[in-house]
Amino acid sequence: MKTINLTMKKETSIAIEFDNVLPEMLYDKSQKEIEDTVIYRGNKEEKLSDYFDIEVSGESENSDDCTIVINGDLSRVKRIGYYMSGGKIIANGNVDFHVGARMSGGHIIVNGDAESYAGREMTGGILEINGNVKEFCGASYAGEWRGMSGGRIVIRGNAGKQLADYMLNGEIHVNGNCDILAGVHMSGGFIQIDGNVNQWIGGQMKKGTIVINGNLEQILPGFKLQEIIHNPFINGKYFIGKYHLYSGDKGVKGKGNLWIKE
């Protein structure tokens, strides 16, 4: 098992791009090669060692045996785990835009908050955010219509606006509260929200399943009550309590399922 420890030694007000700092790119690299890894600060090319102290231990034969641990104030470090396909990244701090975006495999843990577009368009892997996340988590990018299509996102805090916009497949679990327009344009996948939810959830939803264990401010008129079920079995597990099952959004002839706990 190879472990690459990165500790920020110099902060910057201009965002650093971490596209090249991935287990699949660094698992077979020497200490010197890792230090010389190209990162971008704005439009300027820099070396990873210009901003991070680097410690490398162990060896790995493939990316799945490689872990990158990033320490420090990461609030201006963008695209952590961007296009990641294997291995593990642990970010010990708040992170900037696009963490886990377009990832297809591997495991990312953020021990802090995440900015907008976390896990956008991801197709596989696991993204865990142990704080809050802002807008468009698991969503499509601006102007696109393909959101998350695979993998799993776990948010242990609260989620911002338009969670899972244009979601196609995969799973999102929010332990906290969720802002407006969660699951908008959704056409597949599974969302579980344990806290309270602002209005307009599932707008223009065609398929997929949303479970709300907290309070929902308002149900859109395009959702119609189908039945009330005790302890329903949803997405491979039992949910304890009485749940109201709605179907919609009828405004787009949708057949999505919206489960709301009484």
Q: Is residue 10 part of a domain?
A: yes
39: tokens are: 């990162």
Report percent pLDDT > 90 for the chain: 95
**Residue 123 backbone class (left: φ over 0; alpha: ψ -120 to 50; beta: rest):** alpha
Q: Is residue 217 part of a domain?
A: no
pLDDT band of 73, cuts 50, 70, 90: very high
Find, among 92, 78, 73, 82, the residue nearest to 119 by Cα.
82
pLDDT band of 46, cuts 50, 70, 90: very high
* pTM tops 0.85: yes
Round to whole Å and give the CA distance between 183 and 205.
7
Q: Is the pLDDT of residue 9 over 90?
A: yes
Q: Is residue 12 part of a domain?
A: yes
Sign of CA dihedral 251, 253, 259, 262: positive
Q: What is the rounded average pLDDT for all residues in the chain? A: 96
> Which pLDDT belongs to residue 145?
86
Round to whole Å and give the CA distance between 71 and 88.
14
Q: Is residue 51 part of a domain?
A: yes
> Which pLDDT belongs to residue 144?
85
Q: Is the pLDDT of residue 183 over 90?
A: yes
Round to whole Å and give the CA distance between 209 and 172.
11
What residues are paired with 184 via a beta bridge? Answer: none
Find, among 72, 68, 77, the residue nearest to 39 by Cα.
77
* Contact of 177 with 214, CB cutoff 8 Å: yes
Report percent pLDDT > 70 for the chain: 100
Q: Look up the domain containing 27 and give its range.
A: 1-80
pLDDT band of 143, cuts 50, 70, 90: confident
State the average pLDDT over residues 1-12.
95
Q: Is the pLDDT of residue 11 over 90?
A: no
**pLDDT, tens digit, 9 for 90 and up, residues 204-234:** 999 999 999 999 988 999 999 999 999 999 9
State the average pLDDT over residues 185-214.
96
**pLDDT, tens digit, 9 for 90 and up, residues 80-97:** 999 999 999 999 999 999
> Which pLDDT belongs to residue 151?
98
Q: Is residue 19 part of a domain?
A: yes
**pLDDT, tens digit, 9 for 90 and up, residues 250-260:** 999 999 999 99
Q: Is residue 254 part of a domain?
A: no
Q: Is residue 67 part of a domain?
A: yes
Domain count, the chain: 1
Q: Is residue 61 part of a domain?
A: yes
